[in-house]
Amino acid sequence: MERLKIGIFGAWRGMHISKNFLMLNCDIVALCDFNTEKRNRALKELNDDSIAVYDNFDDFIEHDMDAVILANYFHEHAPYAIKCFEKGIHVYSECISNGTMAEGIELIKAFEKSNSIYMLAENYPQMVFNREIKRICDSKTLGKILYAEGEYNHPGDPNDIEFKKDYNYFTKHWRNYLPRTYYITHSMGPIMHATGATPKRVTAFASFAPVEGDVPTASLSGDRAAIITTMNDDGSIFRVTGCAGFGAHHNAYRVCGTEGQIENLRGMGDKVMLRYNSWSKPEGAEEISLYEPKWNDKDEELIIKSGHGGGDYLTARMFVEAIKANKQPEHPFDIYSAVNMSSVAILSHRSMLEGGKPYDIPDFRNEEDVKKYENDRLTPFWMTDGREPDMPCCSQTDFKPTDIQIKLFKEAVDEK
């Protein structure tokens, strides 16, 4: 097979992702972003004059390429993925696949008419400790899986001006309207991957604690965390966060079965703890094992050069392998899993707004579920085309930052 030709939509994060495809002997042939500064910074970093540059997606999609990295705004991937499907272009989509319930339906319908490979570019399942958690789950020594936890906890310094300039650089940016349930794939993806379970019902509650003081912020979400609980198709239960902001930074995962449990340990690097009961431990196993898992992978030298604990390279490799084999990725990286996770993100926020009301997670291969949500375009975000949010992003629906906080934010990011 000839070298794959890859296009980037969303210059800044897309540029970082694309470096992994270069390590996989692919060619970056085109780049598109609406923001001139982001385009220029990415091109300087990639240092390749042959890359075609676009500021319009409709022109970009006409370029000769095999696949597109969708790294544009978090909540706006679905419409562009659909355009790729219509051209027979493969799609590598980061974070949630669809920003609204109706988009989830449209995404699946367009995919099912296409010959494109679609992959949710969720990289956290490929961190070394999460690979080990899956390996142990696959060994069946934990017994029947009953419960799993996933926490993506990412508090930030409210005075970190450089972060704001790079990641939420104007007041209507999606990060300033991000409900705590929506950024869910880093917490849910690893435990879906490890256990094979798919959420079927969800409920959620929020912990409201807005940033205080005269600090630069334009965030309309004063919640620090959403605690999300799902009932799954195999009878197990998940407890996950979206992107939380409590305590200290950590990525924490635990899977518990009838016979044992495994977890990575907060604040202890890549270490995992595997525990069995004395009466049910496998022959030759210790009751408690604390250890650092190994990669045991032919590409270890490339993996350790990659971002997100090696996950960026391994996820890109999965996508390239799927294209070469002409085979869709497996759960939870396939399109149906992606839309399932997005539905959990969206509906758990509604549960949170309604005091924990349970919501059933739809299966958009089911016509009754399609009819229920086909016109549901509620969103907490501003859209690139100027459409306004039509639902609150915070559990305290009247919350907003102070005038001083907004003024300081605009000064920090140089918003005129």
| Any domain includes 91 | yes
Q: Are residues 250 and 359 in the same domain?
A: yes
d(CA 12, CA 94): 13
Q: Are residues 111 and 210 in the same domain?
A: no
CATH number, residue 140: 3.30.360.10
Please give the pLDDT value at position 251: 95
Please give the pLDDT value at position 305: 87
Q: Are residues 224 and 364 in the same domain?
A: yes
Please give the pLDDT value at position 308: 85
Mean pLDDT value across residues 339-360: 98
| Any domain includes 22 | yes
Q: Are residues 90 and 186 in the same domain?
A: no
Domain that holds residue 85: 5-123+315-325
Q: Are residues 12 and 28 in the same domain?
A: yes
Q: Are residues 359 and 249 in the same domain?
A: yes
Please give the pLDDT value at position 398: 96
Sorting pLDDT into bands at 50, 70 and 90, what band is 22?
Answer: very high
| Any domain includes 387 | no
Give per-residue pLDDT as tens, 253-294.
999 999 999 999 999 999 999 999 999 899 999 999 999 999
The helix (H) or strand (E) run that includes residue 14 is helix 11-23
| Any domain includes 348 | yes
Q: Supply 93's token pair.
A: 């989509």
Sorting pLDDT into bands at 50, 70 and 90, what band is 307?
Answer: confident
| Any domain includes 408 | no
* Count of beta carbons in the 10 Å neighbourhood of residue 305: 14
pTM for this model (two decimals): 0.96
| Any domain includes 232 | yes
Q: Are residues 321 and 352 in the same domain?
A: no
| Any domain includes 269 | yes
Q: Are residues 110 and 227 in the same domain?
A: no
Among residues 166, 165, 164, 204, the alpha carbon closest in space to that of 184 is found at: 204
Please give the pLDDT value at position 1: 63
d(CA 228, CA 241): 6
* Count of beta carbons in the 10 Å neighbourhood of residue 32: 25
| Any domain includes 100 | yes
Q: Are residues 364 and 293 in the same domain?
A: yes
- Contact between 318 and 119 under an 8 Å Cβ cutoff? The reply is yes
d(CA 13, CA 18): 9
Residue 41's contacts (CB-CB under 8 Å, 6 or more residues apart) are 11, 12, 15
Q: Supply 48's token pair.
A: 């390749």
Q: Are residues 320 and 349 in the same domain?
A: no
Residue 5 pLDDT greater than 70, yes or no:
yes
Number of domain units in the chain: 2
- Contact between 102 and 340 under an 8 Å Cβ cutoff? The reply is no
Comparing 308 with 328, the larger pLDDT belongs to: 328
Q: Are residues 164 and 27 in the same domain?
A: no
Please give the pLDDT value at position 344: 98
Q: Supply 104's token pair.
A: 């989830």
Please give the pLDDT value at position 2: 85
Mean pLDDT value across residues 235-242: 97
Q: Are residues 162 and 274 in the same domain?
A: yes
What 8-state DSSP symbol labels residue 330? P
Mean pLDDT of the chain: 96
CATH number, residue 25: 3.40.50.720
- Contact between 247 and 152 under an 8 Å Cβ cutoff? The reply is no
Give per-residue pLDDT as tens, 406-415.
999 999 999 9
